[in-house]
Structure 1
Amino acid sequence: MEFDVVQGDIAAQSADALVNAAGTSLRMGSGVAGALRRTAGDEINEDAMERGPVELGTVAVTDAYDLGAEYVIHAAAMAHYGDENATAESIRDATRNALEKADDLECRSIVLPALGCGVAGFDLTEGAELIGEEIEAYEPETLEEVRLIAYSDEEYDVIRAATGKADESETTEESESNR
Structure 2
Amino acid sequence: MDIHLVQGDITEQRVDAIVNAANSSLLGGGGVDGAIHRKGGPDILAECRQLRASTYGKGLPTGQAAATTAGRLPARWVIHTVGPVHSATEDRSDLLSSCFRESLRVADELKARSVAFPAVSTGVYHWPMDDAARIAVRTVRETSTSVREVRFVLFDADAYAAFEQAIGASDATDRR
- Tell me whether the two structures share a fold, i.e. TM-score over 0.5: yes
Match status 1:35 vs 2:35: yes
Q: Percent identity?
A: 31
1:108–1:144 Cα contact (<8 Å) kept = yes
Q: 1:110 to 1:165 in 2, by over 3 A?
A: farther
1:17–1:109 Cα contact (<8 Å) kept = yes
TM-score by length of 2: 0.85
1:155 to 129, 150, 159: 159
Q: Which stretches in structure 2 are left out of the alignment for 5+ residues?
A: 53-58
TM-score by length of 1: 0.83
Task: Letter of the 1:63 partner, please give it.
Answer: T
- After superposition, give the CA deviation of every residue in 1:21-62 in whole Å (9 maximum; x if it has no partner): 012221211111111112111332232243231121111111
CA distance in 1, matches of 2:145, 2:22: 23
Match of 1:99 in 2: 104
Q: 1:165 to 1:6 in 2, by over 3 A?
A: farther
CA distance in 1, matches of 2:143, 2:123: 24
CA distance in 2, matches of 1:153, 1:125: 13
Q: Which stretches in structure 1 are left out of the alignment for 5+ residues?
A: 79-83, 169-179
* Aligned alpha-carbon RMSD (Å): 2.0
Match status 1:138 vs 2:143: yes
CA distance in 2, matches of 1:27, 1:161: 34
2:80 to 54, 74, 79: 74
CA distance in 2, matches of 1:154, 1:127: 13
Aligned residues: 162
CA distance in 2, matches of 1:116, 1:136: 19
2:137–2:170 Cα contact (<8 Å) kept = no
Large movers: runs of 4+ above 4 Å: 165-168
Task: Letter of the 2:76 partner, please give it.
Answer: E
Shift of 1:165: 7.7
| 2:124 counterpart SS class | helix
CA distance in 2, matches of 1:27, 1:140: 28
